[in-house]
Amino acid sequence: MTKVKDNLIDDEHVKDIQVRLRKIEGQVKGIEKMVSSEACCKNILVQVAAVRAAMNKVGGLVLERYTKNCLIHEDNEVDKQKIEELVSTFIMFLK
């Protein structure tokens, strides 16, 4: 890939993470309102679990970005493949 294309992909990746974080922020505010209004504890816990899952996804995306930007060197395809496998494994773990 060219440098420009890599930067575009990276920008899209960053935007995806930012959008996810804004959604999580909204979910957390919703949970806060649920607690304030003394909503059913089961419903609150469902929302807490949803936020935790969303945060795990964000963590996986950040890990992927870090790995690809900081650990992959274009001149070493063998390492690139191993790192892609590592990222895939972490993402699977975080689901």
Tell me the C-alpha distance between 61 and 55, whole Å: 10
Q: What is the pTM of this model?
A: 0.71
Residue 81's pLDDT band (boundaries 50, 70, 90)? Answer: confident
Q: What is the pLDDT of residues 12-35, one digit of tens each?
A: 889 999 999 999 999 999 999 999
Say if residue 87 is exposed, middle or buried (CB neighbours under 10 Å; 0-12, 13-18, 19+).
buried
Within a 10 A sphere around the Cβ of 1, how many other Cβ atoms?
Answer: 9
